[in-house]
A and B are shown apart, each in its own frame.
Chain A
């Protein structure tokens, strides 16, 4: 099928730009119909919105870039739409086509001030309601006089803004009710030991059952994307480790891959092997921590100690080679920071049988436990359609039967050379999400075992120029991080720093589907559901 001809037949005004990955421009007026068409058309079926990025193109206007993929055919598409109006900018919302757009469009509204017409909930996602200005606009003034540190408590409103399109083409603003006056709303977080960080929920309950759940993000919004715009490419690397600190290796790998893609650099086989092994070790580390925290949340404190005991073994291996325990700063553009430590191979080989034995212990201690089974089985079911629509990748998607592993979909590193299974469960409940991660530890051990003896000789670092300039264009690269697809989108204008750098958060889709999963469930199960979704808040808020 010719994708170009197909798109031109849908929207004859569409313009294709082949710089970098290539991108279609669709006029804003036709965008919603176009989105519905490519979502539903038999031959296209773009049902997975990988990433949604707000952009400020200066004089051209404000706009949004959509990265789409079809789960059925595997083909990909990058489209953008924009508006020249910088004061009252509005674009059509596509959250009725892809549910993933709901939170992402709120993010774009927060960052750029673009109102999405027909979006049910146009609040800021990260910043306070009384914040002045939209920080990712190029003309944003970040002086402390405009936005001082406000120490007044934030008042959570029970109604939200929304913009509706009238039949005559005008847009009216009105407020939609989120929680009725007679609803019983309780507040969970931002300081709560089981929200895994500073996430806040407002939950409306009826007796023990959850009627509606409203997520508040932004308590750890550090403005990394804006900071990256004033840093050079090698400098931006430092911040990725601090996004999802349990996927430090993979996040940095993704950014390095994206920059290398832009530069057209191919790293040596040795680097690919090392990066792949490190990614898998990091995945094991993260999944062990997942196990520990889930057990702790459900009241099994000794299981927490078991998990941390084994996690320290991986941290020791990391420390010898990278020098860090948590923030590793290992991948660099064109290679890795330092060659592997002489002990590395030996210690990893020691670790593999040790961990295999201990997984059995985990199952003995926790998995078979009657309480654990009752609290996890059949609780918090996410259907496959919803998982795709929300873009909930990683273990959560795979527990719902969606084969979303980037390592299989778009192999990178040396994943095309190793033999491994993609763990799939079809129940979509908390127990399936738990089991996916436990099985993935075993699978990761298999991958490491296949690679560890075959690391080829060669350079661990290519010679790079101190100032790196990526040719003009836009680039997207993704890796399978510990909890889903972590993507990096760079738009370069040929300067030494990126014009726009966006990280596709692995956690944002996971919290955006919390409302769908939890409705009708019990309030006590919220903890187990949140635990098994396994989100990391700094990665959501960025």
Chain B
């Protein structure tokens, strides 16, 4: 399948490892990615300032996706996926909002398209590509690894909106990890939030939330934590040292993006998956991968 891809700010401005690994992995599973002609914000931080303006920004993404001529759009960020889903539902159901948004889009020669279908990495790989195809593509099974998954909040909640997995017992990311040969563990803190949304107003609390989840995962004795959202990646990987300092905890936990893990199983070179950019101690995880 050929899909348009909207990355969102966090990936494009700092979480390069996620972008690199998605760009490497998906084409090997016959998913061709087409970048949008512009890279604007989805509207997430604007939601707290002016809900209408946020919905306009989200509708603009769907309009830009539609102008590529493609009907499928990959949004690898949980937060962007949520903001665009909510805006889409409102615009499709509220005539007044829709006409106001359409007027603004028309000024730029853009057209809102309600038929664009959105995908996240999780449902694209699990539901569209399918576990069997992935299993067949694996050249280097990651046998012997024990991993914990963190699916994130906004990609599974809230159910009424239509999300990619069950809100209280998400399993797809675990199944995707199992398919590359690694074992997964269930744990009570699985649904706990990474705290990323609080970095704007309460940085210390955000870091404490992230540290308490890292601590819980570390106590499971797993080889690493797998994430699939750039905000969660930022909190658990890029800011792990900061979180440890803030919470005064002793944590040293490898954190990788699912697409990095899949890339390893597809035998893609580590530097092409951005593994040199992870700030958490991923070397201990990489050392356990069978050669």
Question: Do chains A and B stick together as partners?
Answer: no
